Amino acid sequence: MSGTPPPAPPSPEGFVRRVGPFQATAINMSQMCGIGPFVTIPLMVAAFGGPQAVVGFVAGAVLALCDGLVWAELGAAMPGSGGSYVYLRQAFQYRTGRLMPFLFVWTAMLFIPLIMSTGVVGFVQYLSYLAPDLGRTSGDLIGLGVIALVVILLWRGIEHIARITAVMWVVMIASVVLVIAAAATHFSPHRAFTYPAGAFDLTSGHFWPGFAAGLTIGIYDYLGYNTTAYMGAEIKDPGRTLPRSIVFSVLGIMGIYLLLQIGTLGVVDWHRMTDPADIASTSVASAVLEETWGRGAADTVTVLILVTAFASVFTGLLGGSRVPYDAARDGVFFRPFAKLHPRHRFPVPGLAAMGVITAIGFLIGRHTDLATLIQLLTTVMVIVQALAQIVALSVLRRRRPTLDRPYRMWLYPLPSVVALAGWCVIYGYADHNSPGRHPIEWSLAWLALGCAAFLIWAWREKVWPFGGKEIDERYDAAPAAEAEPAGT
């Protein structure tokens, strides 16, 4: 019974299934708990106007878990590379042909690398704690160098990347645990749980806009729970591994975030986090360590946070670079993106393009406002991915009852309804919480531009609405008559 197990068979897409349960959860958690909470705690406090900001992290966790259950069912049923691209194509191909998957890839090629760019912005932000005299130009060059290093490290086989990710996951856990432990040694319940007057007045004109802004920041911090869904063709036993990696990563990060948020508020006065001149507004975790264990410990943990930020960008581009590959291979995106590296079998054009866009987004983020950038990116993502995917789940349940579903959403359709409401709140308050930036209008303009690009592409390819529809039901379970006979 002992011996070396046979190598994992390749998936139909050409990838090799080598990522197991622990590595899959580590990939998700590394992406989720990158630099996010370390730079957004002050933003969350500013949105709520006090330590009641913890509500934002709880709300974000609820939305992430409910939306994660949507991803879990879809990912387990259709474990191909590309994530949402696969799900939207399978659900909407009957009425609109390839429109929805095209629009998703069109949007994802923008929002995935730009989300990664916020991680690089946070990296440079914390680096400034170690080097207070770091100038803007020097910070820009360092950030671009970090992006280049990420792309170089990803330029290899997935089995090597999985090992690198596991090491980064350990560093991420260590950095968060140290901050939580330091906060626990000097925790002040009075500081953490003393709220301003009217903090929870639901009838005031400030609570709900603040809640929407906090929910946006909260879900941004949890983004990454779906990273392995983009790598479905490289996951071992995806029917079990994908749902578990999503649920375990959301629950694990939720507990970590609550301890981190409450602990930080119990050490650093929340008023300091709203003062742009105070180090607590840009490097709040470093401020916690400095207040508790001294400058030496703060410097050490800041280095770990930098590694954590790097890990989040690393895993984000790892999963995101797979998105255009499946679309191009199926003829729904630019054909050059269907190219895999001849030896290491990773999508070369997707990785290169997203690396370039991440660099551009980093420079934009460095010279604008991080909170506004998060609002813009989240708003762009809502229509084509979040809302469309929730609808896709119901469409597939009704239209494709024979679809093989190793996992089915718990308490369906309640999680879908909660996720739908949460995303609508984020979208509906976007303009209010970003005055003068018009994120709703920009998202609609980008969507309209994508529709125009699709029509041009469809006309050249002679597909719907200028040709016939091609129906693909590859993930349906085989009819009983065609199933393999039971062993005798």
Q: Which of 67-71, 420-424, 460-464, 475-479 has the lowest mean pLDDT?
A: 475-479
Q: Which residues lie closer than 8 Å to 67 by C-beta, 6 or more apart?
A: 225, 386, 390, 415, 419, 422, 423
Report how far Cα 58 is from the mean position of its chain's Cα atoms. Answer: 17
Q: What is the pLDDT of residue 127?
A: 93
Q: Which of 128-142, 339-353, 387-401, 412-426 has the lowest mean pLDDT?
A: 339-353
Q: In this structure, what token pair is assigned to residue 18? A: 């080598």
- The answer on pLDDT for 246 being more than 50 is yes
Q: What is the pLDDT of residue 186?
A: 93
State the pTM of this model.
0.84
Q: What is the pLDDT of residue 158?
A: 57
Tell me which of 310 and 320 has the higher pLDDT: 310
Average pLDDT over residues 283-309: 92
Q: What is the pLDDT of residue 386?
A: 94
- How many other C-beta atoms are found inside a 10 Å radius of the C-beta of residue 45? 28
Give 436-451 pLDDT, tens digit per residue. Answer: 888 899 899 999 999 9
- Cβ atoms of 38 and 298 within 8 Å: the answer is no
Give 13-66 pLDDT, tens digit per residue. Answer: 556 777 888 888 888 887 787 778 888 999 999 999 999 999 999 999 999 999
Q: Cα–Cα–Cα angle for 350, 357, 389, nearest 5°?
A: 65
Give 82-112 pLDDT, tens digit per residue. Answer: 678 889 989 999 999 899 989 998 898 888 8
Q: What is the pLDDT of residue 156?
A: 66
What band does 390 get if pLDDT is binned at 50, 70 and 90?
very high
- The answer on pLDDT for 8 being more than 80 is no
Q: How far apart are the C-alpha atoms of 365 and 485, rounded to whole Å? A: 59
- The answer on pLDDT for 479 being more than 70 is no
Average pLDDT over residues 75-79: 90
Tell me which of 330 and 396 has the higher pLDDT: 396
All structural domains of the chain, each given as residue ranges with its CATH number in brackets, are 22-467 (1.20.1740.10)
Q: What is the pLDDT of residue 312?
A: 78
Q: Which of 230-239, 268-277, 291-300 has the lowest mean pLDDT?
A: 230-239
Q: How far apart are the C-alpha atoms of 134 and 282, rounded to whole Å? A: 14
Helix axes 36-48, 370-381, angle to 10 degrees: 100
Average pLDDT over residues 120-126: 91
Q: What is the pLDDT of residue 345?
A: 66
Q: How far is CA 219 from CA 21, 44, 342, 401, in A?
A: 24, 11, 37, 31
Tell me which of 264 and 37 has the higher pLDDT: 264
pLDDT > 70 fraction of the chain, expressed in percent and rounded: 91
Q: What is the pLDDT of residue 483?
A: 41
- The answer on pLDDT for 5 being more than 70 is no
Average pLDDT over residues 197-214: 87
Q: Which of 17-26, 205-214, 450-459 has the lowest mean pLDDT?
A: 17-26
What's the chain's average pLDDT?
A: 85
Q: How far apart are the C-alpha atoms of 407 and 362, rounded to whole Å? A: 38
- The answer on pLDDT for 482 being more than 80 is no
- The answer on pLDDT for 319 being more than 80 is no
Nearest in space to 261 (alpha carbons), one of 186, 192, 165, 210: 192
- The answer on pLDDT for 300 being more than 80 is yes
Q: What is the pLDDT of residue 485?
A: 42
Q: What is the pLDDT of residue 160?
A: 59
Q: What is the pLDDT of residue 162?
A: 65
Q: What is the pLDDT of residue 224?
A: 83
